[in-house]
């Protein structure tokens, strides 16, 4: 079974492994062997096909099935897995991957020059040391900036950002996402993802 970066979608191999089964459109929560999700955002989920294949390969075991829901074919009825856990621990990275969204999360969606908070679409990445002066796109040289502040700073070394930019750990970024709203298909997931109650929505999908 192939495990991808925690900042990428979690997929195993071929998803078309069981034919003729009628299913609901629900994901399966994938936990590490320590009972924690491989990532919080995107939340580590897999398709039912990948879950069944991993179960048959004895790479995971089922923690919980969806209540009263089954995968059915003319000859087979299988409980619909809701939560599965890896049988072997997958080591997590120590440092967070550099992405635009992760940078905004590190800076709490606040412009590091005026201090105001903005929506994702209204933010930009600013090079503390401009590219024209040898500055690189790294955690330590990048900050969140609103459009007007970025334009005002332009190609200058000043002003300096309100906080010195640092390279956050994987845990700092992963759990900072808990301030976002998350919709899950099964209330049982809340036991494992440790999300803020006021930011968690349980959505029941009907057949």
DSSP states of 179-199:
GS-EEES-GGGHHHH---GGG
Residue pair 201/182 in contact (Cβ under 8 Å)? The answer is yes
Tokens of 4: 């991808």
Residue 204 pLDDT grade (very low, low, confident, very high; cuts 50, 70, 90): low
Structural domain contains residue 19: no
Summarize the confidence of residues 71-77 as an average pLDDT: 85
| pLDDT given at position 17 | 29
Sheet holding 45-46, edge to edge: 45-46, 28-31, 77-86, 60-72
Structural domain contains residue 13: no
Distance between CA atoms of residues 21 and 34, nearest Å: 31
Structural domain contains residue 73: yes
Q: The domain containing residue 111 runs over which residues?
A: 100-167
Using a cut of 0.95, tell me whether the model's pTM lies above it: no
């Amino acid at each position: 079974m192939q495990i991808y970066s925690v900042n990428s979608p979690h997929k195993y191999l071929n998803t078309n492994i069981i034919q003729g089964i009628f299913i609901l459109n629900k994901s399966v929560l994938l936990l590490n062997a320590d009972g924690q999700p491989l990532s919080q955002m995107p939340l580590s989920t897999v398709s039912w096909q990948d879950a069944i294949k991993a179960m048959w390969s004895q790479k995971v075991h089922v923690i919980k099935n969806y209540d009263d829901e089954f995968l059915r074919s003319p000859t087979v009825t299988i409980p619909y897995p809701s939560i599965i856990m890896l049988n072997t621990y997958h080591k997590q990275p120590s440092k967070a991957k550099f992405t635009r969204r992760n940078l905004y999360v590190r800076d709490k969606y606040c412009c590091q020059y005026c201090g105001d908070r903005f929506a994702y679409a209204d933010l930009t990445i600013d090079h503390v040391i401009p590219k024209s002066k040898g500055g690189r796109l790294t955690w330590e040289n990048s900050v969140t900036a609103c459009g007007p502040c970025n334009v005002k700073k332009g190609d200058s070394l000043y002003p300096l950002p309100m906080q010195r930019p640092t390279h956050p750990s994987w845990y700092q970024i992963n759990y900072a996402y808990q301030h976002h709203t998350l919709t899950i298909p099964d209330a049982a997931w809340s036991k494992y993802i440790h999300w803020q109650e006021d930011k968690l929505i349980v959505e029941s999908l009907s057949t």
